[in-house]
Amino acid sequence: MLKVVIIGPESTGKSTLAQGLAEYFGEPWVPEYAREYIDRIGRDYLYEDLLEIAKGQIREENRLENAARNLLFCDTNLMVIDVWSKHKYGQTDKWIIDTIKNRPYDLYLLTDIDMPWEEDPQREHPDPEMRAYFFELYAKKIKQTKVPYSLISGSKKERLDKAIKIIQAFYEKG
């Protein structure tokens, strides 16, 4: 099974892309668990919440992996939690770091910051410089994994079309 992670800064179309790919290929996608968790707690998240979010993300990923035939689309992974945790709190829980090291993925789709910012109460950094900062952090972390990745940019339709072609080529090759 091919596990594809859609990753990138806030408001770059990750969820839309993950859902579109899942619909196109008729496979499941793993939504970003942090959204559900933060809605449920009804307050700003704390450092301790990030571990609970990470565990919930993995739980959902495992559950949906069992439902997948050939592909699983992950709208984020723990790398995002690591980046946010270090940015906001200067540290990341050891369980998250260990899980990142021991959890393989097959392909990353890095969403570009060329989409306009869409306001959302859970989003924190609309400033273009911060979006670029997070984009560079994700790009660097992805390159360190040595897992293949592709940059996804353009309109929503262009992004979906490009991602479909990349996944089809990757799947046929592998």
Residue 105 pLDDT exceeds 80: yes
The pair of structure tokens assigned to 153 is 């940019």
Residue 124 banded pLDDT, cuts 50, 70, 90: low
The pair of structure tokens assigned to 80 is 């995002």
Residue carrying structure tokens 């990757």: 170
Is the pTM higher than 0.85? The answer reads yes
Q: Where are the alpha helices (DSSP H) in the chain?
A: 14-25, 33-41, 47-65, 78-89, 94-102, 128-145, 156-173
Query: How many domains would you assign to the chain?
Result: 1
Averaged over 65-90, what is the pLDDT?
96
Which of 73, 75, 3 is CA-nearest to residue 36?
A: 75
Average pLDDT of the chain is 93
The range of the structural domain enclosing residue 146 comes to 2-173
Count of C-beta atoms within a 10 Å radius of residue 46? 11
Report in angstroms the alpha-carbon separations of 90 from 32, 55, 79, 93.
22, 20, 15, 10
Averaged over 133-140, what is the pLDDT?
96
Least confident of 61-65, 100-104, 121-125, 158-162: 121-125
CATH number at residue 50: 3.40.50.300
Residue 91 pLDDT exceeds 60: yes
- Max mean pLDDT range (35-39, 126-130, 135-139): 135-139
Report in angstroms the alpha-carbon separations of 73 from 33, 53, 160.
14, 18, 13
Residue 147 pLDDT exceeds 90: yes
The pair of structure tokens assigned to 25 is 């290929």
Residue 132 pLDDT exceeds 80: yes
Residue 126 pLDDT exceeds 90: no
User: What pLDDT, on the 0 to 100 scale, is given for residue 28?
Assistant: 98
The pair of structure tokens assigned to 88 is 């906001």
> Please, are residues 39 and 53 in contact by the beta-carbon 8 Å criterion?
no
DSSP structure class, residue 69: S
User: What pLDDT, on the 0 to 100 scale, is given for residue 42?
Assistant: 87
Residue 171 pLDDT exceeds 90: no
